[in-house]
Amino acid sequence: MQDEIRDSQQEPAVLGAKPEDLSTAEGVRLPSGDAQALGNEDPQPFNAPITGKTNVPLREATASSADAVAPHVNDDAASPTDAGNPAQDSAEAAQPKKRIDVVKLLREIVQTMLIAAVIVLLLRVFVFELAVVDGPSMQPTLETGERVLVMKWTQYLRPMPRHGEIMVTRYPEPEFEGYFIKRVVGVAGDRVCIKQGIVYVNDEPNTTGTGLCLGDMEELEVPEHHVFVMGDNRPWSMDSRDPRIGTLDIDMLLGRADVLIFPMSRMKIINHATD
């Protein structure tokens, strides 16, 4: 600021010299205020050359005049260029924080998704499975296209199912791919036979299914660790009556179908008719 003021004050004449000693160079004029301070009420340009009797050199007098004109200038005050734009500075300071917030948000989303995926995987492996009924073998209890929730935990707490429970199972032969949903008719130690289309378990008729079986079956005893399964739609079910399937090891069982969840209009707890 001192330099700017100094450049604008090059024309004023020397301050501090006596009026009788001052002569001004051609083209140099004192401001009216400085003329009055020197006792000259009608300032006019001096025609005499400047003498060497001045007490202060011209450059120093110019600086002194600048100090007198602007005595309150603060040299330490920041210039407009130094001060900068407060809004711009605030925006620049907020950008790193915004980037940090975005990275933190993405990290939290990824962590949440991974945790959710692990939880779902553990639930599907050890707790439940969603199965779709395909075919008419369990009519009228379950219709084709319906979705059931299969509880796997029952196999860990109680490996041997009970009479009447509806189970999802695999079949032992490779030609039967996928899973099948059937009802447990006989458990280990039971005697099962079919006479005149009617299923007998331990000499008692089994009424869990509908319709008559196509053909008879000699009596057999269910081995240990095995079950005898059948579809509720007795004429249209491929089950333990087929010699290729026979009784099933309980290790082939996936779990118990407990809840019909779709369609919503038929949502219900499945009736197992257990003994």
Mind giving me the DSSP string for 24-92? --TT----HHHHHHTT-SS-----SPPPTT-SS-HHHHHHHHHHHH-TT--TTSPPHHHH--HHHHHHH
More confident residue, 87 or 161: 161
Among the listed residues 65, 152, 182, 237, the single catalytic one is 182
Q: Given this model, what pLDDT does residue 114 score?
A: 94
Write out pLDDT tens, residues 205-237. 998 889 999 889 999 999 999 999 999 999 999
104 catalytic residue (yes or no): no
In terms of phi and psi (left: phi > 0; alpha: psi -120 to 50; beta: otherwise), the region of 205 is beta
How far apart CA 211 and CA 233 sit, in angstroms, is 7
What are the angstrom distances between the C-alpha of 270 and each of 167, 237, 266?
Answer: 11, 19, 10
Residue among 65, 137, 237, 240 flagged as catalytic: 137
Is the separation of the CB atoms in 241 and 219 below 8 Å?
Answer: no
pLDDT digits (tens, 9 = 90+) for 196-205: 999 999 999 9
pLDDT mean over 110-133? 88
Q: Are 195 and 172 in contact (CB under 8 A)?
A: no
**CATH topology classification for 128-269:** Umud Fragment, subunit A (2.10.109)
Residue 120 has a pLDDT of 85
| 3 state SS of 190 | coil
Looking at residue 51, its pLDDT comes to 47
- One-letter amino acid identity for 32? S
Are 132 and 145 in contact by the 8 Å Cβ rule? The answer is yes
Instruction: Give the amino acid at 153.
Output: W
What percent of the chain is modeled with pLDDT above 90?
41
Is 64 among the residues known to form the active site?
A: no
**CA-closest candidate to residue 219, choices 193, 188, 187, 246:** 193
- Judge contact between 189 and 220, C-beta under 8 A: no
- Determine the Cα–Cα distance for residues 18 and 50; give it in Å rounded to an integer: 13
pLDDT at residue 58 greater than cutoff 50:
no
Q: Determine the pLDDT at residue 97.
A: 62
- Better pLDDT: 45 or 86: 86
CA distances to 15, 22, 37, 71 from 55, rounded to whole Å, are: 9, 11, 17, 22
3-state secondary structure of 194: strand
